[in-house]
């Protein structure tokens, strides 16, 4: 199958292209040897071997067979609907969409209608759901080794000043890291409702990024488990941690924080003893591989799309809870605001 990447920002160029290069080398029978096609309107995109870059969707689509092409939509959440609509008109049906699926429930409803009308097969990027660490936690919960889970705490911190101020493609901090955390919580503990939420602005050197400083979401699952998900985009360190407290023990997992080292770590504690494991965990590569297998076999799992819509719905509720603007004094004369 051919690969068509729309958007060569952080997700497209930094995540999807390296994963595609790895998979094309290891599984040529699935990807073939034709170059990857990309669409990006910028004129200064760096050349890459095996990559053809075009400035528009029409020019990039020229020469591609939609039936044999998987499109990677790596544009900001606010542009999802427009891009998906244009791709549908061009005949593309096999589509990978970066998380979150939509920026709000209005766009989500339109995407659901678009998918139904054009019979789109959409897979929403969620590598944590194919992570070795996640599956170890799922097995631990199902096996009952430490009894029933009582609470889950998920922390997703990283410094994100430049991108938040210069290229505000994500409306709020809820749209950056929290889709991963909400999806993980639903996978570990099942359906949930939002109990509380809060957000903060990003401020640095007189510049303001409204609602881009950080976000918190609390969930209560139908199973009785409570989850707290926190993301600080002004943190000086990167951290992706999940803590599960059980009746008779605890588990602390650390996901890989970048593509530099594909390993996660898990520490299990009970009765004064602890065991620590380092796990091989190239979750993004595994997720893309599985998505292409589904496209090749024509096996769309409606459950996966429904799962992605639930994540957007929960995040929309959380954003609505703290939608009122934060009251802050006016900046000094001469200071600039960016958002």
pLDDT digits (tens, 9 = 90+) for 11-55: 999 999 999 999 999 998 899 889 999 998 876 676 788 899 999
CB contact at 8 A, 307 and 108: no
User: What backbone phi and psi angles, to 5 degrees, belong to 89?
Assistant: -65, -30
Residue 86 lies in a domain: yes
Closest among 8, 13, 4 to 35, alpha carbons compared: 4
Residue 305 lies in a domain: yes
CB contact at 8 A, 3 and 61: no
Residue 261 lies in a domain: yes
Q: Find the CATH number of the domain harbouring 54.
A: 3.40.50.720
DSSP helix/strand/coil, 328: coil
Domain boundary among the residues 106, 124, 142 is at 124
Whether residues 106 and 29 share a domain: the answer is yes
Q: What confidence tens digit (pLDDT) does each residue in 257-309 have? A: 887 789 999 999 999 899 999 999 999 999 999 999 999 988 766 778 999 99
Whether residues 99 and 171 share a domain: the answer is no
Give the mean model confidence (pLDDT) for residues 100-115: 95
User: What backbone phi and psi angles, to 5 degrees, belong to 147?
Assistant: 85, -165
Residue 337 lies in a domain: no
d(CA 66, CA 92): 5
Confidence of residue 339 (pLDDT cuts 50, 70, 90): very low
CB atoms within 10 A of CB 33: 7
Question: Does residue 332 surpass a pLDDT of 50?
Answer: no
How many separate domains does the chain show?
2
Residue 82 lies in a domain: yes
Question: Does residue 324 surpass a pLDDT of 90?
Answer: no
DSSP string over 25-58: HH-HHHH-SSPEEEE---S-PPP-TTEEEESSHH
The parent domain of residue 210 ranges over 128-321
Whether residues 76 and 132 share a domain: the answer is no
Domain boundary among the residues 107, 124, 141 is at 124
Whether residues 155 and 304 share a domain: the answer is yes
d(CA 310, CA 190): 11
Domain boundary among the residues 124, 152, 185 is at 124
Burial of residue 112, with CB atoms counted within 10 A of its CB: 0-12 exposed, 13-18 middle, 19 or more buried: middle
Whether residues 186 and 261 share a domain: the answer is yes
Residue 177 lies in a domain: yes
Residue 259 lies in a domain: yes
Q: Find the CATH number of the domain harbouring 151.
A: 3.30.360.10
CB contact at 8 A, 243 and 251: yes
State the chain's mean pLDDT as an integer: 90
What's residue 43's pLDDT? Answer: 61
Closest among 325, 302, 2 to 123, alpha carbons compared: 302
∠ CA(318), CA(323), CA(329), 5° rounding?
A: 135
Residue 172 lies in a domain: yes
């Amino acid at each position: 199958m051919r690969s068509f990447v729309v958007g060569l920002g952080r997700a497209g160029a930094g995540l999807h292209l390296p994963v595609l290069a790895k998979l094309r080398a290891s599984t040529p029978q699935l990807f073939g040897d034709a170059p990857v096609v990309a669409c990006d309107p910028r004129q200064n995109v760096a050349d890459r071997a095996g990559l053809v870059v075009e400035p528009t969707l029409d020019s990039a689509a020229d020469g591609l067979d939609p039936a044999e092409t998987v499109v990677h939509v790596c544009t900001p959440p606010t542009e999802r609907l427009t891009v998906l609509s244009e791709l549908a008109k061009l005949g593309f049906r096999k589509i990978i969409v970066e998380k979150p699926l939509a920026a709000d429930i209005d766009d989500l409803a339109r995407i659901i209608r678009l998918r139904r009308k054009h019979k789109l097969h959409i897979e929403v990027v969620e590598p944590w759901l194919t992570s070795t660490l996640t599956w170890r936690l799922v097995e631990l919960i199902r096996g009952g080794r430490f009894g029933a889970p009582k609470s889950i705490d998920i922390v997703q911190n990283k410094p994100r000043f430049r991108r938040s101020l210069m290229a505000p493609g994500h409306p709020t901090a809820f749209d950056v890291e929290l889709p991963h955390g909400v999806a993980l919580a639903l996978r570990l503990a099942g359906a949930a409702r939002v109990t509380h939420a809060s957000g903060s602005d990003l401020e640095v050197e007189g510049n303001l990024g409204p609602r881009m400083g950080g976000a918190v979401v609390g969930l209560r699952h139908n199973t009785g488990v409570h989850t707290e998900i926190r993301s600080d985009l002004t943190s000086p360190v990167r951290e992706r941690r999940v803590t599960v407290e059980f009746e008779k023990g605890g588990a602390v997992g650390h996901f890989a924080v970048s593509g530099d080292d594909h390993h996660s770590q898990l520490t299990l504690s009970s009765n004064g003893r602890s065991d620590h494991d380092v796990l091989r965990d190239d979750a993004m590569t595994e997720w893309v591989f599985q998505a292409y297998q589904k496209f090749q076999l024509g096996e769309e799992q409606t459950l996966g799309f429904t799962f992605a819509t639930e994540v957007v719905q929960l995040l929309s509720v959380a954003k609505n809870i703290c939608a009122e603007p934060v009251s802050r004094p006016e900046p000094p004369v001469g200071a600039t605001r960016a958002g």
